[in-house]
Chains A and B, each alone.
Chain A
Amino acid sequence: QKEVEQDPGPLSVPEGAIVSLNCTYSNSAFQYFMWYRQYSRKGPELLMYTYSSGNKEDGRFTAQVDKSSKYISLFIRDSQPSDSATYLCAMSDGNNRLAFGKGNQVVVIP
């Protein structure tokens, strides 16, 4: 079992819809949780960074962490074509190494 599971299936949504992405993990020591956005042939760009359980909101983006269920989510409201990218979840237990999911390719259709 991989440490971080992220269903890599592509997701297509119409412009303006809510995008919902999630990851599950097995390592209960993870306490730092990140979401990265990666455009084609570019490096990952940090979107959201949360510590421990709870919600964090930044503009159209909301990150949720449920440590009891080992489950994290990212919601994108009012999705735009410019949100079309691959979204990677990542997490750390503080040992200076990030464990990534496989990523979700999101396509927002105008």
Chain B
Amino acid sequence: DTGVSQDPRHKITKRGQNVTFRCDPISEHNRLYWYRQTLGQGPEFLTYFQNEAQLEKSRLLSDRFSAERPKGSFSTLEIQRTEQGDSAMYLCASSLQTDYGYTFGSGTRLTVV
């Protein structure tokens, strides 16, 4: 098991374009989380899945953001019509149910120009 994998590591996109990120969690973990981190700040919760069900979404997750976890395995986070304010590190984490010590991936750094 190689931990939580995220792809791509870096993404530069023009404002208005759509982007999609992928996260592959630790295989036996049934919970998957997305967080966003901006420079000098701690990660902020976006959404989480238990198996394939998206159980909670933050108010930070505007209508331009959508996340999926088909079949309860990998997850994708899509941002439509990107804005400069979307520039951040997008972190994925996974855990077993009721385990609050999440394992994070290395993140996808998004730059919107």
Contact = CB atoms under 8 A, between A and B. Distances in A.
Contact of B42 (A43, A97, A100): A100
Contact of A102 (B41, B102, B104, B109): B41
Contacts of B55: 96
Contacts of A80: none
A42 B107 contact: yes
Interface stretch (B12-20, B43-51, B68-76): B43-51
Contacts of B31: 96
Interface residues of B, number: 26
A43 B106 contact: yes
Nearest to A32: B100
A6 B105 CA distance: 23
Contacts of B33: 96
Nearest to A6: B42
From B6, B43, B104, residue with most partner A Cβ within 10 Å: B43
Nearest to B43: A100
B101 interface: yes
B105 A97 contact: no
Given A96-B48, A96-B56, A46 B102 contact: yes
Nearest to B31: A96
Given A96-B48, A100-B44, A43 B101 contact: no
B91 interface: yes
